[in-house]
């Protein structure tokens, strides 16, 4: 009784749809992605997709979980702070490589097998490092939200810097700031734009968190 096995009979399959969707999102921007465009790319009618996904959000979830599967496993044989660094950097690298991932993570709840795998890796590291259940959970959430926030910001800033119109708008905004009202902002504008994004900025914040963690660990244990 095979029954419920949805054996794709013809051209379509969930994997193909997800892969094509991902290509489109990366090629033309996440915001410009549409089910109709995806269907056209696949050479089918828009409604054909509804055989495989309940709706657009369901497809988004599938794409997100597919991407999360690309995060490398936790490295063995190194100290736990380096394991944490590896996981965080892996997630960031994936988000930079697939900018749509930032929006997919921000806009939808977590779910999916691969997403759980990543969480399992990070939580396992923290537990092995000796953190109690609550601290491990708190730290996991903190690290995850930091990576998400920092990298999303980075991606957005990078996208803007490429849009000439936005560049002009940004420059105009900065130049319109009165140096007497906002002395520090005006003074640090070059630093702010130089330090926005990049591995160094990301690692700076990550190291702050890890330093705080190790200090707390030292104090309590």
> Which of 12/115 has CB closer to a second copy?
115
User: DSSP for the chain?
Assistant: --TT-----SS--HHHHHHHHHHHHHHH-TTT--HHHHHHHHTS-GGGGGGT-SSHHHHHHHHHHHHHTTSPPPPSSS-HHHHHHHHHHHHHHHHHHSTHHHHHHHHS---SHHHHHHHHHHHHHHHHTT--HHHHHHHHHHHHHHHHHHHHHHHHHHHHHH-HHHHHHHHHHHHTS-TTTSHHHHHHHHHHHHHSSHHHHHHHHHHHHHHHHHHHHHHH-
Residue 82 engages a second copy in binding (rule: CB under 8 A): no
Which long-range contacts does 6-10 make (Cβ < 8 Å, 24+ apart)? 6/51, 6/52
Is 92 within 8 Å of 147 (Cβ atoms)? yes
Residue 184 engages a second copy in binding (rule: CB under 8 A): yes
10 binds, among DNA, a second copy, none (CB under 5 to 8 A by kind): DNA
Candidates 37, 146, 158, 217; binder of a second copy (CB under 8 A) is 146
> Which of 39/126 has CB closer to a second copy?
126
Candidates 57, 163, 166, 207; binder of DNA (CB under 7 A) is 57
196 binds, among a second copy, DNA, none (CB under 5 to 8 A by kind): a second copy
> What residues from 52 to 81 belong to the interface with a second copy (CB under 8 A)?
none
Least distance from DNA to the Cβ atom of residue 100, Å: 13
Candidates 15, 19, 29, 55; binder of DNA (CB under 7 A) is 55
Query: Interface with a second copy by CB under 8 A: which residues?
Result: 106-107, 109, 111-112, 116-117, 119-120, 123-124, 127, 133-134, 136-142, 144-150, 152-153, 156-157, 160, 166, 169-170, 173, 177, 181-185, 187-188, 191-192, 194-196, 200-201, 204-205, 207-213, 215-216
Query: Interface with DNA by CB under 7 A: which residues?
Result: 2-4, 6-12, 33-37, 39, 43-48, 50-52, 55-57
């Amino acid at each position: 009784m095979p029954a419920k096995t949805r054996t794709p009979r013809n051209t379509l399959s969930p994997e193909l749809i997800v892969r094509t969707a991902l290509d489109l999102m990366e090629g033309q921007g996440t915001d410009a992605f549409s089910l109709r465009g995806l269907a056209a790319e696949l050479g089918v009618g828009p409604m054909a997709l509804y055989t495989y996904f309940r709706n657009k959000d369901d497809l988004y979830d599938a794409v997100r979980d597919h991407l999360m599967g690309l995060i490398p496993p936790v490295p063995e044989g190194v100290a736990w702070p380096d394991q944490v660094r590896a996981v965080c950097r892996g997630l960031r690298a994936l988000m930079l490589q697939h900018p749509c991932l930032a929006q997919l993570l921000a806009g939808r709840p977590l779910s999916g097998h691969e997403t759980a795998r990543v969480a399992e890796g990070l939580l396992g590291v923290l537990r092995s490092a000796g953190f109690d259940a609550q601290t491990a959970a708190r730290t996991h959430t903190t690290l995850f939200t930091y990576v998400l926030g920092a990298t999303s910001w980075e991606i957005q800033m990078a996208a803007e810097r490429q849009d000439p119109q936005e560049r002009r708008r940004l420059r105009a905004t900065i130049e319109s700031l009165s140096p007497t009202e906002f002395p520090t902002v005006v003074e640090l504008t070059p630093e702010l734009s130089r330090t926005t994004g990049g591995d160094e900025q990301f690692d700076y914040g990550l190291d702050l968190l890890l330093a705080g963690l190790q200090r707390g660990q030292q104090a309590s244990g």
